[in-house]
Amino acid sequence: MAQSVLNNVAIRGVVGAVPGDPVSILDVRSTLTVEEISKVSATVGLKDLYRTTDLQTAGDLCTAAARRLLEALHWDPESIDGIFVVTQTPDHFLPATAFIAHRELKLKDHCLAFDIGLGCSGYVYGLWTAAQFIASGSCKRVLLLAGDTISKLISPEDKSVAVLFGDAGSATALEFDAGAGSMAFVGGSDGAGAENLRVPGGAFRAMPSSETFAEHTDEDGNRRSQRDLAMDGLAIFNFTLQRVPPLVNAVTELRGWPVPEIDLFVFHQANGFILKTIAKKLKLREEQAPINIDRFGNTSMTSMPLLIVDSAANRLRSLEPAKVVIVGFGVGYSWGALATEMSNVMTDLVHVAENTTCSTRLISARS
Residue 185 pLDDT > 70: yes
Domains of the chain: which residue ranges?
Answer: 2-366
What pLDDT, on the 0 to 100 scale, is given for residue 145? 98
Q: What are phi and psi of 329, to 5 degrees?
A: -165, 145
Q: What angle (nearest 5°) sits at the alpha carbon of residue 57, between those of residues 54 and 60?
A: 130
Rounded distance between C-alpha atoms, residue 153 and residue 313, angstroms: 31
The number of CA neighbours under 13 Å toward the Cβ of 42 is 6
Contact 116, 145 (CB under 8 A): no
Angstrom distance (rounded) from CA 125 to CA 249: 18
What integer pLDDT is reported at residue 366 of this predicted model? Answer: 45
CATH 3.30.420.40 describes domain 2-366: no
State the Cα–Cα distance between residues 355 and 340, nearest whole angstrom.
37
β-partners of residue 147 are 169
Higher pLDDT, 218 or 85: 85
| Mean pLDDT of all residues in 235-240 | 96
Q: How confident is the model at residue 365 (pLDDT cuts 50, 70, 90)?
A: very low
HSE-up (13 A, CA, CB side) for residue 195: 1
Q: What is the pLDDT of residue 363?
A: 42
Q: What is the pLDDT of residues 102-140, one digit of tens each?
A: 999 999 999 999 999 999 999 999 999 999 999 999 999
pLDDT of residue 117: 97
| pLDDT value, residue 299 | 98
Confidence of residue 358 (pLDDT cuts 50, 70, 90): low
Q: Which regions of the chain does DSSP assign to beta strands (E)?
A: 2-6, 9-19, 23-24, 48-49, 82-86, 112-116, 141-148, 168-176, 183-189, 197-198, 216-217, 223-224, 230-231, 264-267, 322-330, 334-342, 346-352, 364-366
Return the minimum-mean-pLDDT range out of 79-88, 104-113, 335-344, 347-356: 347-356
Residue 361: the pLDDT is: 43
Q: Tell me the pLDDT tens digit for each residue of 260-269.
A: 999 999 999 9
In this prediction, residues 294-308 reach a mean pLDDT of: 97
- Does the pLDDT of residue 354 top 80, yes or no? no
Q: Return the closest-CA partner of residue 120 out of 290, 293, 254.
A: 293
Candidates 126, 10, 14; CA nearest to 70 is 14
If you average pLDDT over residues 4-19, what whole number do you get? 98
pLDDT band at 357 (very low <50, low <70, confident <90, very high): low
pLDDT at position 329 over 70: yes
pLDDT mean across residues, the chain: 94
Q: Please, is 309 exposed, middle or buried when counting C-beta atoms within 10 Å of its C-beta (0-12, 13-18, 19+)?
A: buried
User: Quick one: average pLDDT of 210-222?
Assistant: 87
Window from 90-99, 192-201, 309-318, 352-361 with minimum mean pLDDT:
352-361
Pick from 16, 67, 62, 51: nearest CA to 149: 51
Average pLDDT over residues 271-299: 96
Q: What is the mean pLDDT of residues 264-288?
A: 97
**Contacts (Cβ under 8 Å, ≥6 apart) of 37:** 25, 26, 30, 163
pLDDT greater than 60 at residue 360: no
Q: What is the mean pLDDT of residues 292-309?
A: 97
100 pLDDT higher than 80: yes
Residue 367: band (very low, low, confident or very high) from pLDDT cuts 50, 70, 90: very low
Residues 148/301, Cβ–Cβ less than 8 Å: yes
The pLDDT score that the predictor gives to residue 338 is: 98
Q: How far apart are CA 15 and CA 170, in angstroms?
A: 6
Q: Average pLDDT for residues 186-193, to the nearest whole number?
A: 97
Which residues fall within 8 angstroms of residue 326, CB to CB, at 6 or more apart? 123, 124, 127, 266, 304, 337, 338, 340
Distances (CA, A) of 243 to 1, 237, 253, 299, 337: 11, 10, 16, 20, 11
